[in-house]
Amino acid sequence: MKITRTAIADVLILEPTLHGDDRGYFMETWRQSHFREQGIALEFVQDNQSKSRRGTLRGLHYQLKYPQGKLARIISGEVFDVAVDMRRTSPTFGRWVGVVLSGENHKQLWMPPGFAHGFYVMSDYAELLYKCTDYYHPEDEFSLLWNDPAIGISWPLLDDSPLLSEKDRCARLLSEAPAYP
């Protein structure tokens, strides 16, 4: 597996090795020893899957008391996946990293605890799988506004307005959002 550090060193792009022939392919999508080699000693406790249609933007979501590290990948379709550093004492606080994940490129994005996560669907539909290092606690979930100019995410929007949930439409600006210490 090829592992690449991004502009925010704690956020990683993982690219599994495909073993294929005319019947199809096989790939190993996660191995604990690869994470340990990168100095990551966290364990995954929950797997999630979502399916969204073209133009949907989900996020940017995070938890404070129960922060979740996430390893995201797409099994079908294509998304622009984003991690925003919400660690107030980090030199990269408020900065973001984005990468195209698809069922074709098999890339995965690792976001450690302390990051907000969101994605935008660029194909007709996309199915996202992600492993989490803590359980989902709805009472502890916060949303960061997807188009906050202080963050300046360059979303590859296909239309003028993405499809948003009410929660994401009413999310907070970075300047108003609670952050990790």
Report CA torsion sign: 171, 72, 154, 178.
positive
Catalytic residue among 19, 61, 117, 137: 61
User: What are 136's two structure tokens?
Assistant: 């989902």
Catalytic residue among 106, 117, 120, 130: 130
Whether the bond between 60 and the residue before it is cis, its omega within 30 degrees of 0, is yes
Q: For 70-126, give the secondary structure using H, E and C.
A: EEEEEEECEEEEEEEECECCCCCCCCEEEEEEECCCCCEEEECCCEEEEEEECCCEE
Residue 62 has a CB neighbour count (10 Å cut-off) of 27
Active-site annotation holds for 130? yes
Active-site annotation holds for 25? no
Query: Which residues are designated catalytic?
Result: 61, 130
